[in-house]
Every structure is written in structure tokens, then in C-alpha cells.
């Protein structure tokens, strides 16, 4: 029996019992016609109040139950997402803890850079966590190549945002988190990929993430490069303002650098 059927059944049973028993009580207690009429009016008001409270309690109980089931479902989705990312980490060992760092920093910078509500921040968190999910479709010999990519290899590498779009857009739960995986390689001057978006055409969360992602890629070693000194990395970020990056995002990042960097260190410690 579904919750709606159970609620209706309980309501009908209580209603019929109320009518039968309350009529019997009124007949036993009151003898004058005017008193019976008043008692019936009071009885009707009490019936409305009692059944209203009963319906509220029954519906609230079922809503709470559904909410708990939804929470468990969301938790299972989150575990699936974490599994996808672990697969990527196993393939991309030189980026150890990269996902956790950039997710923590992006979420904190989003709070500084925009008026996102809680649901939007959750989408941003998932998007940052899944930013490289499209690389699941890139061959290992390209993904972890230690030397410079050929033109053909690079052409294949830059398909990963489109692969992410094709994967995530088909999943209703993750479609609202698509902006970062799909657009984080777009550039402020329009020279990025895959769509060649320019300026404010690029979603805000992707503009935020782009700064964080480049910082993390430069300041940590990769198979194709050594880690850059911190000041050189920050200079690169400054030089990219207005070209690669949204100037406002660069300013927010640099003005809050110590604060944001702390989130990277915390996430690394917990990973």
C-alpha cells in the first residue's frame, strides 16, 4: 500500500469512528434539542481540527521518510562520483590529491566571488570534483605522455571537455554541475576550447575554476614538467589576467591567496 492510500485509509477509519462514537456520546449526554445542535456544531469544529492535525502528522511522517530515502539516494550518487574520480586518479598518478585541492579551493573562492545559494554551491562542488571526467575517454599514451604532444595528440586531448559534456548532460542529477567540466578550458579572450567562449559568455563557476586549476597544475609536478616556484606561478596568473582569466577572478584569487591556499593544504591533509 502506497503512502497516499495509507493516509486516506487512516483518515476514513478515524472519520467514521469519530462520527459514530461522537454521535453516541452526544445522544447520551444531551437531551434538549438546542443543546444537541450546539454540541453537533462543536463536534464538527473539533472533527476538522483533529483530522487536520492527523493529516499533518501523517503527511509529515511520509515526507520525512521520503526525504531520508532521497538523502540515501544522493549519498549513493556521491559515492559513484567519488568512484569515477578514483578511476581518474589511478590513471593520472602525477596529479595526486589534485581533485580534492581544486574542489576545496574552488568552493571557497565561489563564496567570495559570487552570490551563490547553497544548491548552486553544491553543483559547483560536484562540477569541480568532476572537472576532468572527460579524460576517461583519452588514451593513456596521450594522457600521461612525458613529452610534448603532437598536433594530432593535442587535438584528441582537447576533446575531453566535450566528452565530459556528453557524459554528464545525460545524467539529470549531474547536468546542473556541467559548467566546470565543459567550460573550464575556455579563455577570457575567446582563444580557449571547446566552444571559444569569450568574457562573460563563460559561466562564472568555470572562470573561477580556471584560475584555481592553472595554479594547481603549475605549482605541482606533472609527468611533463617540474613544479614551478610559487612566485613564478603567481606571476603567470597575473600575466594571464584579461587574456586567459577573468580579471576580477584574478584579483579575488590574489587578494585572498593565503586564505585559499590554506584550503588546498587542508584538503591534502585529509585526502
User: Would you name the residues annotated as active-site residues?
Assistant: 135
Handedness of CA 262, 174, 186, 158 (dihedral sign): positive
- Here the cell at position 178 is 556541467
Please state, in angstroms and rounded to a whole number, the distance separating the CA atoms of residues 264 and 207. Answer: 18
Cβ atoms of 134 and 159 within 8 Å: the answer is yes
Collapsing DSSP to helix, strand or coil, 96 comes out as coil
Please state, in angstroms and rounded to a whole number, the distance separating the CA atoms of residues 105 and 97. Answer: 12
Cβ atoms of 142 and 149 within 8 Å: the answer is yes
Please state, in angstroms and rounded to a whole number, the distance separating the CA atoms of residues 80 and 98. Answer: 18
Task: Determine if the peptide bond prior to 194 is cis (ω within 30°).
Answer: yes
Q: Cα–Cα–Cα angle for 59, 65, 68, nearest 5°? A: 140
Using CB atoms within 10 A of its CB, is residue 180 exposed (0-12), middle (13-18) or buried (19+)?
buried
Collapsing DSSP to helix, strand or coil, 243 comes out as coil
- Here the cell at position 156 is 584528441
Amino acid at each position: 500500500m502506497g503512502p497516499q492510500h495509507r493516509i486516506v485509509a487512516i483518515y476514513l477509519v478515524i472519520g467514521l469512528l469519530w462520527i459514530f462514537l461522537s454521535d453516541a456520546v452526544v445522544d447520551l449526554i444531551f437531551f434538549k434539542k438546542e443543546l444537541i445542535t450546539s454540541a453537533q456544531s462543536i463536534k464538527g469544529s473539533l472533527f476538522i481540527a483533529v483530522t487536520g492535525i492527523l493529516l499533518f502528522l501523517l503527511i509529515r511522517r511520509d515526507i520525512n521518510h521520503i526525504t531520508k530515502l532521497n538523502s540515501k539516494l544522493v549519498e549513493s550518487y556521491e559515492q559513484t562520483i567519488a568512484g569515477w574520480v578514483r578511476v581518474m586518479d589511478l590513471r593520472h598518478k602525477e596529479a595526486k590529491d589534485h581533485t580534492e585541492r581544486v574542489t576545496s579551493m574552488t568552493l571557497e573562492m565561489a563564496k567570495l566571488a559570487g552570490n551563490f545559494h547553497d544548491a548552486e554551491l553544491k553543483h559547483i562542488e560536484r562540477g569541480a570534483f568532476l572537472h576532468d571526467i572527460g579524460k576517461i575517454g583519452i588514451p593513456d599514451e596521450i594522457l600521461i605522455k612525458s613529452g610534448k604532444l603532437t598536433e594530432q595528440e593535442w587535438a584528441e586531448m582537447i576533446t575531453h571537455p566535450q566528452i565530459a559534456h556528453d557524459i554528464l548532460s545525460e545524467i539529470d542529477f549531474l547536468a546542473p554541475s556541467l559548467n566546470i567540466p565543459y567550460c573550464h578550458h575556455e579563455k577570457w579572450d575567446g582563444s580557449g576550447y571547446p566552444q571559444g567562449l569569450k568574457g562573460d559568455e563563460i559561466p562564472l563557476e568555470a572562470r573561477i575554476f580556471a584560475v584555481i586549476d592553472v595554479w594547481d597544475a603549475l605549482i605541482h609536478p606533472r609527468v611533463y614538467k617540474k613544479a614551478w616556484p610559487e612566485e613564478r606561478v603567481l606571476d603567470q596568473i597575473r600575466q594571464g589576467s584579461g587574456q586567459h582569466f577573468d580579471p576580477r577572478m584574478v584579483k579575488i584569487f590574489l587578494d585572498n591567496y593565503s586564505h585559499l591556499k590554506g584550503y588546498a593544504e587542508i584538503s591534502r591533509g585529509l585526502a
